[in-house]
Structure 1
Amino acid sequence: MGRNRTTSRRWSRATLGAAPLSVAVAVGLLLAPGTAGATPATPAPATPAAPATPDDAARLVAEANQQLAVLDEQVHEAQLTVTQHQESAAAAAATAAQADAVLAGYAPQLAAIAQTSGTSQSRMAAFLTGDSAADVVQQMTTLDLIAAHTEGLLAEVSVAQRAAEQARAEADAAAAQATTALAELERQQAEVQTRQEQYERDYASLSAAAQAAVRTSVAGPSLAAPDTDAVVAAAPSGDVGAVLEAALAQVGDDYVWGGTGPDGFDCSGLTGFAYRAAGVSLPHSSRAQSRLGVAVSRDELQPGDLVYFGSPVYHVGIYVGNGKMVHARTFGMPVAVTSVDIGDYAGARRVL
């Protein structure tokens, strides 16, 4: 597997991969985070003077990285919203199809009523043509039964028709929501692509020392990875051991915007990849992952717990014990083991 490559991802309608909303740095475009909903693009502020020193440039890139992480998470959440709308639209369409099928089932009976309505005798005709009083009563009784049946059937048809119309309206509304959410996500992703590339250019323009300073500022210094066998052996369960083994096996792999493996990851992509080793599916969103399982206090952390950062949450990693975590933190820094205490620690969740 490659190490420290300059890596980015192209996003498309087909993949709908999540990507950060944005920030261009070093040339001075620092964008404040917005919401993940259908909001207009924030106009870029005027470009300030270029950084005066290498330290200033590194500081600006580090600040931009933080904003990029927050905005990255907004697009992950927008992707989940799109998926939810698409699932709702599909379910509503299925309900509408079922309602239409029920309505169509009445067609033969309605056709039979229409065919006989012109030839059925009226009550007066029955009276005039009856051979006897008993015959007249029988014909009138039959007519009453037919009328009652017809009235009941028409009432059922009316109910089925209203249900079908409501189901179709709900399906149309759900499809419209999905289309709107998808269009907004694609707009965000197009903007993101440009700003990711700008960020990568700004990062590449720094000296090696300045790049190292950015990585340390954002994620803390990389630490020696613990012995995987020892960590797995000390895991509270076999499933947790599988998660830890999968996560630690990725140390050194590239950070990739929106990456879910097997050769490149973003933060929630790595945690999701590791948890799949235990048969657990996690949403590709650090914020969504921070709502799973049960809350765990800082002093109760166990290996395998998800640790998350920021308010709102923008980063997640996996605790491996002894105050350390494995995580995919940022562009330019491969998957690494670092201290949990890198700033912005917000909490932990136990999923297994």
Structure 2
Amino acid sequence: MQRNGTTSRRWSGATLAVAAAVAVVLSPATATAAPTTPPAPAAPPAPAPPATAADASRLVAEAGQQLTALDEQVHAAQVTVAEQQQLAAVAAQTADQAQTALDAYAPQLAAIAQGAHTTQSRMAAFLTGSSAEDVVQQMTTLDLIASHTEGLLAEVSIAERTAQEARTAADAAAAQATAGLAELERQQAEVRSRVAAYEADFDRLTAAEQAAVTTRLAGPSLAAPSTAAVVAAAPSDQVAAALEKALAQIGDAYVWGGTGPDGFDCSGLTSFAYAAAGVALPHSSRAQSRMGVAVDRSALQPGDLVFFGSPVYHVGIYVGDGKMVHARTFGQPVAVTSVDQGDYAGARRVLGQ
């Protein structure tokens, strides 16, 4: 294997094509919205093989960057599908309640069906009335019954229409959730395939090239701070619990979709750490970036969530002194790096508000 300016290594199409992003257009849906799951764009034709080891390293780094974005897209889709499934469940419950309300009219409708028709009762009133006053009284009673019947039938009509609309909405919500889940599963399979190709390409690099790729993707590894010192500086016991849990994972493997306890991706690590503080975070850096309150870079406190990319595709936990702990990238363990990286996008404070 040559490493002196040229390379004979074989590179996968995932790296050479720099892995075109999978489009996830699954907006949080209302119960009546139609499924919206457009297909992913086709990957561009693969360029010529890299001429040098430096070119190969650059392509692997670019593929890793795009894989990180794809990883976040899948997580965002998972959150959306969960929302769609919840909407479908609520819509189904509403439909069941509407049907129950409609069914409650059944005994009254049966009684009406078994009673005499109003016109026949009016004739009977004429034939059986003992006096004009008696006839008027019977007909007044019949008019009241007829008015009640008409009102009841109007109520039944409204209930029936409500039940039908609720069932239609429930069916649409269920169809959207099903379609979203199918698209999500397809994207997950696509990312798994690309991850395997990326990791194979990464393994072909020299140790120095791998280090350069990792630094480019996630910044240089820094010495981990003292857990005791970080915990002591935490603004609250909750924050201290999250920080202690996060720092205890240093050295654990980066695992696509990992939520612990032995392997993590970026939002999996933050969710795992915050769970120790009793806070549930969605398994999506983009969803997490909408939680809590925004924090300026100059006002960061240990425990704040720091985000990267536009749109957001990565998250870490600030530990103080300009450092963060995070599940870095494919093939690299949980580590401490600088928070000051080129695609820093901001921070949110979910604990200690």
**What is the aligned partner in structure 2 of residue 345 from structure 1?**
344
After TM superposition, give the deviation of residue 208 of structure 1 in Å: 1.9
Q: What is the alpha-carbon distance in structure 1 between the residues aligned to residue 219 and residue 116 of structure 2?
A: 85
| 8 Å CA contact 2:231, 2:243 repeated in 1 | yes
After TM superposition, give the deviation of residue 128 of structure 1 in Å: 2.0
**Residue identity (%):** 72
Aligned match of 2:23 in 28, 35, 44? 35
After TM superposition, give the deviation of residue 89 of structure 1 in Å: 0.5
| 8 Å CA contact 1:123, 1:143 repeated in 2 | yes
Q: Describe how 1:194-213 pairs up with structure 2 within 5 A.
A: 194-213=193-212
Deviations, residues 211-250 of structure 1 (Å, cap 9, x unaligned): 1111111111111111111111111111110110010000
Deviations, residues 102-147 of structure 1 (Å, cap 9, x unaligned): 0000001100100013598432321122122232123212211211
One-letter code aligned to 1:328: A
| 8 Å CA contact 2:50, 2:56 repeated in 1 | yes
**What is the aligned partner in structure 2 of residue 10 from structure 1?**
none
After TM superposition, give the deviation of residue 42 of structure 1 in Å: 2.4
The answer as to 2:91 corresponding to 1:92 is yes
Q: Describe how 1:268-347 pairs up with structure 2 within 5 A.
A: 268-347=267-346
Give secondary structure in 1 for the equivalent of 2:115.
Answer: helix
After TM superposition, give the deviation of residue 343 of structure 1 in Å: 2.1
Structure 2: gaps of 5 or more residues: 1-11, 26-36
Give secondary structure in 2 for the equivalent of 1:160.
Answer: helix
TM-score for the superposition, normalised by structure 1: 0.90
Deviations, residues 56-104 of structure 1 (Å, cap 9, x unaligned): 2111111111111111111111111111111001000000000000000
Q: What is the alpha-carbon distance in structure 2 between the residues aligned to residue 118 and residue 236 of structure 1?
A: 78
**What is the aligned partner in structure 2 of residue 187 from structure 1?**
186
| 8 Å CA contact 1:236, 1:303 repeated in 2 | yes
Give secondary structure in 2 for the equivalent of 1:311.
Answer: coil
**What is the aligned partner in structure 2 of residue 9 from structure 1?**
none
| 8 Å CA contact 2:118, 2:146 repeated in 1 | no
| 8 Å CA contact 1:247, 1:274 repeated in 2 | yes
| 8 Å CA contact 1:24, 1:64 repeated in 2 | no
Give secondary structure in 2 for the equivalent of 1:122.
Answer: helix
| 8 Å CA contact 2:23, 2:39 repeated in 1 | no
In structure 2, relative to structure 1, the CA distance for the partners of 1:223 and 1:166 (3 Å cut) is same
Q: What is the alpha-carbon distance in structure 2 between the residues aligned to residue 265 and residue 117 of structure 1?
A: 74
Q: Describe how 1:1-352 pairs up with structure 2 within 5 A.
A: 24-26=13-15, 28-33=16-21, 35-37=23-25, 38-118=37-117, 121-352=120-351
Q: What is the alpha-carbon distance in structure 2 between the residues aligned to residue 252 and residue 343 of structure 1?
A: 24
After TM superposition, give the deviation of residue 197 of structure 1 in Å: 1.1
Give secondary structure in 2 for the equivalent of 1:336.
Answer: strand
After TM superposition, give the deviation of residue 277 of structure 1 in Å: 0.8
| 8 Å CA contact 2:84, 2:177 repeated in 1 | yes
Aligned CA RMSD, in angstroms, stands at 1.6
Q: What is the alpha-carbon distance in structure 2 between the residues aligned to residue 33 and residue 117 of structure 1?
A: 71
Give secondary structure in 2 for the equivalent of 1:91.
Answer: helix
Q: What is the alpha-carbon distance in structure 2 between the residues aligned to residue 39 and residue 108 of structure 1?
A: 49
| 8 Å CA contact 1:24, 1:196 repeated in 2 | no
- Which region of structure 1 is more displaced relative to structure 2, 177-186 or 303-312? 177-186
Deviations, residues 266-292 of structure 1 (Å, cap 9, x unaligned): 000000111111111111111111111
In structure 2, relative to structure 1, the CA distance for the partners of 1:155 and 1:35 (3 Å cut) is same
| 8 Å CA contact 2:250, 2:334 repeated in 1 | yes
- Which region of structure 1 is more displaced relative to structure 2, 248-257 or 134-143? 134-143
